[in-house]
Copies of this chain bind each other. A is one copy, B any other.
């Protein structure tokens, strides 16, 4: 069964990005520290073409989470760049350079049509303008029996969470405050069918897994 899996780092006060997000500072003020625990890992660095890094209790968690993913869905804000229609004059091809770390089909939720973007390393970005259900169906077909990753951001995640379409949610809770920014659960009052099934304390982070019951 192809599941929809969502993983995100979140502060103790519920933010997944700090205030004043911009192209120059996509994680907002202070938001980069939500990811300190992961970017220090050898597993993450290797995945992103870098050497060195640590091996600790977080390694197994990350390796399990990035395994068995056949397609990714993300929101327009996570893909990044300017708002509004795509600009042929200033083409925005994502944050990740010529060879993004996905290496499988990626579906970007947007209201603005755009032809598919082919980058190196089997990275194909398809721009989906007809909603989250369509994106999920396309991603499931493209995943070839593996799972689909919901990469974020918060707004895209909330749309899938509210629709009850997320099968597994991994929150990486970092014991810090951001005080302002993007709140993952803004406006939500329940988690639907998702229930906490495990909690793993690890260096710099607590891993909370929710699954559909």
Measured CB to CB, the residues of A under 8 A from B are 12-14, 30, 171, 175-180, 183-185, 187-191, 195-196, 198-201, 206, 208, 210
Closest partner residue, chain B, to A189 (CB atom): B179
Contact of A13 among B14, B177, B200, B206 (CB under 8 A): B14
Residues of B within 8 A of A180 (CB): 189
Residues of chain B within 8 A (CB-CB) of A208 are 175, 206
For the complex with contacts A13-B14, A177-B190, A200-B201, 17 further pairs of A-B residues with Cβ separation under 8 Å are: A12-B185, A13-B183, A14-B14, A175-B191, A175-B196, A175-B210, A176-B191, A177-B185, A177-B188, A179-B185, A179-B187, A179-B188, A179-B189, A198-B201, A199-B199, A201-B201, A206-B206
For A195, the chain B residues whose CB sits under 8 A away are 175
Q: Are the C-beta atoms of A199 and B201 separated by less than 8 Å?
A: yes
Residues in B whose Cβ lies below 8 Å from that of A13: 14, 183-185, 188
By the criterion CB–CB under 8 Å, are B199 and A176 in contact? no
Report the nearest B residue to A206, measured CB to CB: B199
Question: With a CB–CB cut-off of 8 A, which chain B residues contact A184?
Answer: 13
A198 and chain B: residue at smallest CB distance = B201
A121–B200 Cα distance when bound, in Å, is: 41
Chain B residues within 8 Å of A185, by CB = 12-13, 177, 179
Residue among A175, A190, A195 facing the most chain B CB atoms (10 A cut-off): A175
